[in-house]
């Protein structure tokens, strides 16, 4: 399946990069193909890979207390996954499975570290773009949860727990 | 008030930096002093500054629908603030006020951009450390909220809204 770099470059991971930086970063990605039904990323594993869907669709699945996996979301062409563990290693909280035949490009942490020594300005942009999207998500999730917790649907005890949790979350930079 | 770079360098912003990188980054920070009661950062303003408390304590305050400001948290020595808007410009969601006499160091986005052209490897580490802390916070907030929403305290309609919101949040990389 042929894909072109112009299409891949629209992904926000590559935002603010010069054409040269984009080419250099894209050259470090590997192409992979998965048939429909195959698991690409397994919940609980700690692997540091950044994935971008070039063609096809994937499903995000999570198991809950031993019950069968539940579908959480569908990832379309252009979607990125693995970005949280890429900068903060931790077991993946969900699996990703190919819904259709899927073509992805993937960047391993090892290759990213090569980029870091060869072209730190380009590596910087991947990190800054990820920090930006994570800040945006955190802000939105915080708004959503604050609205719920300050609304009539939740009792006062939970509200207090939320405010304690949140105060701790934002004031401690624990790694 | 005298502070030394060794103490400042313990802040997670400087994680994984060489001694030389730390010195170079710290040299770009400005020292500021605020008397108790003074507002350092005002809710609603969009300014891109990264702050670190070197001595003293601050209060995080937020106004709710025109009601008087409510204290959300206390920031101690070593605490960082402004990091979300630093990589994702947006109006600050809360104010920060000096509770005691406070000494801070602050890095403006302009000076950070200078660093980016002079020493992108050091600038990279500030971005990667921020991405890491944001990923960690997002994961914790997500866990907290999932536990609440999948528990007995919330009705099924809210639970469904949460799952829809969350699916969208993680699959869309909108800037």
Chain A residues close to B112, C-beta within 8 Å: none
Chain B residues close to A139, C-beta within 8 Å: 84, 88, 90, 93
Quote the pTM value: 0.88
Size of interface A-B (CB pairs under 8 A): 177
CA separation for the pair B30, B51 (Å, rounded)? 10
What are the helix (H) ranges across B1-43?
5-8, 19-26
Q: Which residue has the tokens 């950062």?
A: B41
The per-residue pLDDT of chain A, averaged, comes to: 89
Chain A residues close to B14, C-beta within 8 Å: none
Please report the ipTM that was assigned to this predicted complex: 0.87
CA separation for the pair B17, B7 (Å, rounded)? 14
Give pLDDT tens digits for B37-92: 999 999 999 999 999 999 999 999 988 777 788 898 999 998 999 999 999 999 99
B-chain residue closest to A156, CA distance: B153
- What is the structure's pLDDT at B39? 96
Give pLDDT tens digits for A31-58: 999 999 999 999 999 999 999 999 999 9
Q: How far is CA B163 from CA A5, A70, A127, B135, B145, in A?
A: 34, 11, 28, 19, 11
- What is the structure's pLDDT at A153? 79
A164 touches chain B (CB under 8 A): no
Contact between B110 and B88 under an 8 Å Cβ cutoff? The reply is no
**By mean pLDDT, which of A4-8, A139-143, B88-92, B102-106 is the weakest?**
A4-8
More confident call, A175 vs A135: A135
Tokens standing for B94? 């809360």
State percent of chain B over pLDDT 70: 93
Contact between A47 and A81 under an 8 Å Cβ cutoff? The reply is no
To which H or E segment does residue A72 belong? Answer: strand A70-75
Cβ of B175 within 8 Å of Cβ of A137? The answer is no
Chain A residues close to B153, C-beta within 8 Å: 154-155, 158
Least CB-CB distance to A171: which of B12, B75, B150?
Answer: B75
Cβ of A141 within 8 Å of Cβ of B136? The answer is no
Least CB-CB distance to A153: which of B128, B158, B165?
Answer: B158
B44 touches chain A (CB under 8 A): no
The per-residue pLDDT of chain B, averaged, comes to: 89
Cβ of A134 within 8 Å of Cβ of B134? The answer is yes
Mutate to test the interface with B, among A63, A71, A85, A172 (most CBs of B within 10 A): A172
- Tell me the shortest Cα–Cα distance from A24 to chain B, in angstroms: 16
Q: What one-character DSSP code corresponds to residue A103?
A: E
Q: Which residues pair with B30 in a beta bridge?
A: B106
CA separation for the pair B102, B88 (Å, rounded)? 26
Give pLDDT tens digits for A84-133: 999 999 999 899 999 999 999 999 999 999 999 999 999 999 999 999 99
Domains of chain B: 5-171 (2.60.120.10)
CA separation for the pair A46, A29 (Å, rounded)? 19
- What is the structure's pLDDT at B4? 62
Question: What's the pLDDT band for A1 if we cut at 50, 70, 90?
Answer: very low
CA separation for the pair A73, A93 (Å, rounded)? 13
């Amino acid at each position: 399946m042929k894909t072109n770099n112009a299409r891949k470059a629209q992904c926000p991971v590559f935002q603010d990069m010069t054409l040269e930086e984009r080419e250099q970063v894209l050259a470090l990605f590997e192409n992979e193909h998965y048939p429909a039904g195959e698991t690409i990323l397994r919940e609980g594993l700690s692997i540091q890979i950044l994935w971008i869907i070039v063609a096809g669709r994937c499903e995000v699945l999570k198991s809950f207390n031993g019950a069968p996996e539940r579908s959480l979301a569908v990832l379309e062409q252009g979607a990125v996954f693995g970005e949280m563990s890429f900068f903060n290693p931790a077991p993946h909280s969900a699996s990703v499975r190919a819904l259709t035949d899927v073509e992805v490009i993937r960047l391993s942490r090892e290759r990213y570290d090569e980029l870091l020594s060869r072209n730190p300005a380009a590596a910087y942009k991947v990190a800054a773009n990820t920090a930006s999207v994570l800040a945006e998500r955190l802000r939105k999730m915080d708004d959503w949860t604050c609205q719920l917790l300050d609304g009539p649907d939740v009792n006062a005890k939970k509200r207090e727990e939320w405010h304690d949790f949140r105060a701790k979350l934002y004031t401690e930079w624990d790694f």
